[in-house]
Structure 1
Amino acid sequence: MLDSTSTAKCPVHAPADHPKVQPEKVGILLANLGTPDDYSYWPMRRYLSEFLSDKRVIDYPSWKWQPLLQLIILTKRPFSSGEAYKSIWNHDKGESPLMTITKDQTAKMAKVMSDRYGDQVMVDFCMRYGNPSTKSKVREMVKAGCQKILFVPLYPQYAGATSGTANDQFFRALMEETWQPAARTIPAYFDEPAYIDALARSVEEAYAKASSRPDILVVSYHGMPKRYLMQGDPYHCQCQKTTRLLKERLGWEDTQITTTFQSVFGPEEWLKPYTVDHVATLAKEGKKNIAVIAPAFSADCIETLEEINEEIKESFEEAGGEDFLYIPCLNDDDDHIAALAGVIEQNLKGWVD
């Protein structure tokens, strides 16, 4: 039996064959979208199949969507997506930039949490799609003695297709555990002052280093079908508020900043304006020097390093634009880690001393 007065929750007078019980810990599980294991055809196909088969991402009926996906889209798209990944791949480490950065974020967060809570906590990360899977990391935490797990989707703004599906996968993983830990998941932190401050400082530092001040800051968020907004998804509203708070923190006028949406996929209407089109419009209107930041991404990835800094930049330059400044994601910047640590601490209340 377990001694309920012991903080470690270890067996007292247990029989010799009693299963080993680890000292109790609180798990902090960071979660990001995911990445293919490699940019070659089959790893890309596996990754894209998992991602694009998620009903939270593409909600078309399976009988209609899966034949199109498996027989047409996934025969071609792994090649083009693979080339895009190859152009940004961390060849030294044999992994995508998102994987490298997420590992760095996790290491820094583990240090912060260890300094504050000692061995009461365990910090790790998982991916919604690809590896390491949410299921495998939940299993590791349970085996390590985590009787409570705080799940931390690294998406400042909530969307069903990002935070929602990450939570779904976390809860599915919990369903498979015999000894199911208590669980919490953090809310969106799109308006957290420390997060806004970190964004603002990254803008100020980038502008200070620029050879000339950009005419406008384009705040580009990952897009989603407009239909999802009309169904009640709060993502669009939270993005707009993040931009407004950033503008206020910087002390800027409305003319110095604008909100756009990128990564359009499929035939239906998505949230507008589309970043790729809007930067071309800005160039034609005489704004030849722009900066772009992507606050919805906690780490640089294919959508920022390739889509923004290559495709969207090209659209701007082809329309007559001259100077294009991409401001990197917050990544493992100390201000970002501190902001996330503050959110985590708020949600650990009652679980750690």
Structure 2
Amino acid sequence: MVATPEKLDSTHERSPSQQRVAVLLMGYGEVESYEDFANYNEQALNLLTAKFAPVPTWVYPPLAKLLALFDRHEWGHQHHDFISPHNAIFEKQRAGIEKDLQAKWGEGVQVFKAFNFCAPFLPKQVLAEIKNQGFDKILIYPLLVVDSIFTSGIAIEQVNNALSEIAEGDEHWVKGLRYIPSFYNEPAYIDLMAHLVEEKITADLASAYLPSQIGIVLMNHGCPHKAKGFTSGITESQILYDLVRDKLIYRYPLISVGWLNHDTPLIEWTLPNAQQAAKNLIQLGAKAIVFMPIGFATENHETLLDVHHIIHALEKKHSDVNYVQMPCVNDDPEFLYMAAQWANAHINELLSEETVAINPQLSVAHHHHHHH
């Protein structure tokens, strides 16, 4: 791609109508109708699993249907027709972040939500709407998983595909673009995670257990060790865990990372998983276990159903232990405020920088410039 700066306007001040940025808040999305399971699974297999599992693509449609049967059994029969609250929570996050951003920037900054796997909020659908509303500057902001370029990378993949489809003519409609890959090392987020755990322990456990008898499992999004060369998020997630642990360990010695893995055959996942982490802490003398999701910002079936299964399995063998399942930050006003703060510098850059005209046609002409 070749970028050519447009001529500067004669006036330095932009009119209010030009001061516009679309913040594209991205999450997974989760099914709200069991009929959508197969379609959801097929998209997830194509976008996620394909990057680390040695599975041929022709297997995806039948595999997606098979997985849908398991999903329907788990959500429908085992969990009394469970419907994920993820999408509703994500909308509250979108609205809350937009409210905080508009308090600073006015209505020229709007927050749009996109789901990786759920229509009618697929990135291509939402980007078409952003274009139709006249926005030409975009801040891509993955929010659900607090790891890295891997899960956030699928957001970029979908955005790139959508922008290629929506492009028309010899000048691209997008004039400015920024990206927030993760907030795994943001001090405000680290402090909030530790504070929420301490608050829960004080309210529910401190009067009955010594601090050394309270085990804390800080749960991260599971990561495959080998992902066809992709950076899989282990490094960032490990740093996140270390930073939160360091805030708590002097008061509560029994702390472990617990990875919420998708136990896929033939794949080496991060260890210990959340269940093994709890077992290890019980062996070291924990009489109560707190499960806190630090690697997820939004509640979803992993943080709800998977953790429920883990606790149920542990109760069978260690019925004398007290188990506490904590929620994600979700629409906690303190979290929404800090999430808006992380966007401010990027919005400021987008509003103040000189617009750049991208001509997609020029990229084709440069393909054959190398010498044999």
TM-score (norm 1): 0.84
Q: Deviations over 1:22-52 (max 9, x none)?
A: 75521011001121241x2x31111011111
- Does residue 65 of the first structure (1) align with residue 72 of the second (2)? no
2:261–2:270: 8 Å Cα contact kept in structure 1? no
SS at match of 1:36: coil
1:31 alignment counterpart: 26
1:98 alignment counterpart: 86
Instruction: Pick 1 or 2: higher relative contact order, CA cutoff 8 A, min separation 6.
Output: 2
Amino acid at match of 1:51: A
Bigger mean CA deviation after superposition, 266-275 or 26-35: 266-275
1:169-184 equivalences under 5 Å are: 169-175=158-164, 176-178=166-168, 179-181=172-174, 182-184=176-178
1:224–1:271: 8 Å Cα contact kept in structure 2? yes
> Residues 330, 263 of structure 1: CA spacing in aligned structure 2 closer, same or farther, 3 A cutoff?
same
In structure 2, distance between residues paired with 1:30 and 1:337? 12
> Residues 36, 240 of structure 1: CA spacing in aligned structure 2 closer, same or farther, 3 A cutoff?
same
> Residues 8, 150 of structure 1: CA spacing in aligned structure 2 closer, same or farther, 3 A cutoff?
same
Unaligned runs of 5+ residues in structure 1 are 10-21
1:153–1:166: 8 Å Cα contact kept in structure 2? yes
1:81 alignment counterpart: 71
In structure 1, distance between residues paired with 2:56 and 2:232? 25
Q: Deviations over 1:283-316 (max 9, x none)?
A: 35542310011111111110011111x1111122
- Does residue 112 of the first structure (1) align with residue 106 of the second (2)? no
1:127-206 equivalences under 5 Å are: 127-131=115-119, 132-154=121-143, 155-160=145-150, 162-175=151-164, 176-178=166-168, 179-181=172-174, 182-206=176-200
> Residues 69, 232 of structure 1: CA spacing in aligned structure 2 closer, same or farther, 3 A cutoff?
closer
2:112 alignment counterpart: 124
Unaligned runs of 5+ residues in structure 2 are 1-6, 353-372
SS at match of 2:250: coil
Q: Deviations over 1:107-160 (max 9, x none)?
A: 111111111111221111111111211111111111112110001001322041
Q: How many residues align?
A: 328
2:19–2:108: 8 Å Cα contact kept in structure 1? yes
> Residues 84, 220 of structure 1: CA spacing in aligned structure 2 closer, same or farther, 3 A cutoff?
same
> Residues 25, 32 of structure 1: CA spacing in aligned structure 2 closer, same or farther, 3 A cutoff?
same
In structure 2, distance between residues paired with 1:88 and 1:328? 20
In structure 2, distance between residues paired with 1:143 and 1:81? 37
State the 1:279 CA deviation: 2.1
2:203 alignment counterpart: 209
Amino acid at match of 2:92: D
1:257-296 equivalences under 5 Å are: 257-267=255-265, 268-296=267-295
SS at match of 2:263: coil
SS at match of 1:282: helix
State the 1:234 CA deviation: 5.7
> Residues 28, 58 of structure 1: CA spacing in aligned structure 2 closer, same or farther, 3 A cutoff?
same
2:256–2:277: 8 Å Cα contact kept in structure 1? no
> Residues 239, 3 of structure 1: CA spacing in aligned structure 2 closer, same or farther, 3 A cutoff?
closer
1:10-29 equivalences under 5 Å are: 25-29=20-24
1:245 alignment counterpart: 243
- Does residue 297 of the first structure (1) align with residue 296 of the second (2)? yes
In structure 2, distance between residues paired with 1:135 and 1:315? 41
Amino acid at match of 1:171: N
TM-score (norm 2): 0.80
SS at match of 1:255: coil
Identity of aligned residues (%): 22
- Aligned Cα root-mean-square deviation (Å): 2.6
> Residues 227, 216 of structure 1: CA spacing in aligned structure 2 closer, same or farther, 3 A cutoff?
same
State the 1:82 CA deviation: 2.6
In structure 1, distance between residues paired with 2:49 and 2:38? 19
SS at match of 1:149: strand
1:105–1:337: 8 Å Cα contact kept in structure 2? yes
